[in-house]
Structure formats: structure tokens, C-alpha cells
Amino acid sequence: MPYAIWMITRHSLSDYHALLLSTVPGFVYTIGRFAKERSWNVTGIFLIAALLIGTTVDLLSGDAETMILNNIRTLLVFGVFFLATMLAKRPMALYFFADTARVLGWLPEHARGRERLRDEELMPYFQGLTFLFALRYVAIAIVKLALFSIHGVEGYALLIWWRVALSWGFGALILLASLYVAGRVRKRIEG
């Protein structure tokens, strides 16, 4: 949908306004999902905060080129944020896992608190999963920067496709890693 919006509106609007308009579906989807779930957990708060930060940066950018570069910087900041949570021994993946495991029923009822997940033997798995999240943001930023350096604003459609492909690829990798971690957590908790 962002690709279609970009291709349709870029000739009738400025590049910057077409870029802004192409971000609307993601914004609406995230707000809609959050409103539907009505869950005030770390995952929901992170998603809303990321959405608000990204939208604010986009609105303050002023032109298309600055918006793309600021988006790349924002991705890098999120990557560094995930790495910082690893260094602080509070990996974000642990919080995401605790929130998601509760909804998906991956863990027995008695083991659904974060406290049970802070086990020394489980922490390396959450650190690794958090590293995948950080790597996702950094990889997307690097690819966007490389493509932007080559194609400029005119290559925005290509940026969209690469972002989607990398997001899906990392999403699949993170899902598989999460399933593996769920198995390790279940094995550790159930003895």
C-alpha cells in the first residue's frame, strides 16, 4: 500500500508530501491494532512510542531527502537502543516474549511472569533474540542508506520494497528464533 500511495501521489504532490502520505497506512494499522488489543504492556508501549517517534521525525523533516535520511538515523537509534538493553542486562526480547507468550499460550499459566524468565540459563537466549531485533534495524538502515546514496529520492519505491523484504525476512528469522526460545523456556520451567 505505501508503494501504491507513493506511485500515485508523487506526481500530483511534492515528494515530501507523497512520502508522508505513504506512511499513513502503517500509522493507522498500528493505532488500530493497539486500540483493538487494548493492552498496556511493554510491547504495546514500545510500538506506540516507535510510531510516535517516527511520525514526529517525518513531520519535522521538511523535505523528502531529509525525511529519508532522518528515517535512516531513527532506525539506527532503535538498533542502538536494543543493543543498550542488552548491555543493561534488560533485553527487550524478554519483555516482548513475556507479553507475546501470554497471548499465544506458549507458557504454562504458572510461568507467565517476567520474573520466571530472568533465569541465568535463559538470559543468553533473550540476549540473542534482542540482538536479532537490533540487527534488523541496523541492516534496514544500511540498505536504505546504500540505495538512497545511489538512487536518491527517485528510488524511494525501491527503498519500500527492500524495507518490506528485509522486514519479512527478519520477521521470519525472529519468529523461528522465538519458537526456539519458547521451547528452551518451556523445557527450563517444566524441568
- The pLDDT of residue 177: 93
The better pLDDT of the pair 85, 44 is held by: 85
13 falls in which pLDDT band (50, 70, 90)? low
Please indicate whether residue 110 or residue 143 has the higher confidence score (pLDDT).
Answer: 143
CB neighbours of residue 154 within 10 Å: 11
Q: Please say if the pLDDT value at position 108 is more than 60.
A: no
Residues 88-94, mean pLDDT to the nearest whole number = 93
Residue 112 confidence (pLDDT) above 60: no
Residue 101's pLDDT is what?
75
Query: Model confidence over 169-187: pLDDT tens digits?
Result: 999 999 999 889 888 888 8
Mean pLDDT value of segment 82-95 = 94
Query: By the 8 A CB rule, do 93 and 130 touch?
Result: yes
Measured CA to CA, the distance from residue 167 to residue 148 in angstroms comes to 18
Dist CA 48 CA 30 (whole Å): 7
The backbone torsions φ and ψ at residue 111, rounded to the nearest 5 degrees and listed phi first, read: -115, 20
Q: Tell me the pTM.
A: 0.77
Q: Looking at residues 117-123, what average pLDDT do you find?
A: 83
DSSP class of residue 118 equals -
Predicted confidence band at 2 (pLDDT cuts at 50, 70, 90)? low
Mean pLDDT of the residues in the chain? 81
